[in-house]
Structure 1
């Protein structure tokens, strides 16, 4: 059994590392596009509203999954976390489409709220890059039955992923008047 897991690590680990590098690079490149192509003809608020909803639902699923794990309902925990991961993948694909489709919208707030917004935004962006490999390794370790490794990394993944999901909603709420 252990040989099989080590063999699967030879494939999974490089794939996870490659995705962890590629995803932030792709997002950065798309943010710097000189021209946008509104493929779906979507209003400026359409994608952010969808992203806020996905982040909200992801946060709810993460919390539910945490309680399933604490209650030792591991199948429900696994299914809930897979659903949270699925929503995050949908978010990422939609986010890429939004960067291709819509110009960035500047934040128009002033005073203390401006500082609060930028603190939330900057921490959200930094941790969004960090969460990609954490989630991928946590999911891989859990789904491949490496539960000790899964538990060790999940202790870090859960609070960061939850923070990213919640701050994603907050960023949307701060930006909503400017779309």
Structure 2
């Protein structure tokens, strides 16, 4: 199969995942197993863990950029593959936490409340936008389309880094309000 045919096939998969993942997360976010009568303990240990994973993702992304600037393509690929794995792990933990726990309300007041919600809303919106960007960027590299990969990576990197870093910030800001 030539690269054009492969790219077309992967783009269909990427489009499907880019639609299905946010819808599934939104649907599962609304399902609380405890309120449905299941005897499950809230997974309160997960938020600091998945916030840490977001931090690790940010470090991996910076490592990926440094390694490619130094010409180490293999290390760059490993960093990015690990960052994708961390993002998937985060997603599973995030869903598991919200399916077993009540939502936490931010308790800050004044300007900090607006700062928190601005960061949270941009974090959520960009986390949806970054899904197809990451997958397209990764696909271009895997197909050896490095000029296209580099072009899209310049857009993907800052968005993905922002999502990873603000994930940590959101956790730090809301953590005093966990019950």
Aligned residues: 175
Deviation, 1:43, is: 4.2
Q: Which moved more, 1:90-99 or 1:136-145?
A: 90-99
* TM-score normalised to structure 1 length: 0.92
Deviation, 1:10, is: 2.8
Alpha-carbon distance in 1 for matches of 2:6, 2:82? 23
Alpha-carbon distance in 2 for matches of 1:119, 1:148? 34
- Aligned ranges 1:120-159 → 2 under 5 Å: 120-159=119-158
- Aligned ranges 1:1-179 → 2 under 5 Å: 4-33=2-31, 35-37=32-34, 41-44=41-44, 46-179=45-178
Long gaps (5+) in structure 1: none
Q: Report the CA distance shift for 1:143/1:39 in structure 2 as closer, same or farther (over 3 A).
A: farther
The CA RMSD over aligned residues, in Å, is: 1.5
Give per-residue Cα distances to partners, 1:110-153, cap 9 Å, x unaligned.
11111110110010000000000000111111122111111111
Deviation, 1:24, is: 0.7
Alpha-carbon distance in 1 for matches of 2:168, 2:48? 9
Alpha-carbon distance in 1 for matches of 2:25, 2:117? 19
* TM-score normalised to structure 2 length: 0.92
Long gaps (5+) in structure 2: none
Q: Is the 8 A contact 2:7 2:139 kept in 1?
A: no
Structure 1 residue ranges (4+ consecutive) displaced by more than 3 angstroms after TM superposition: 37-40
**Aligned partner of residue 108 in structure 2, secondary structure:** coil
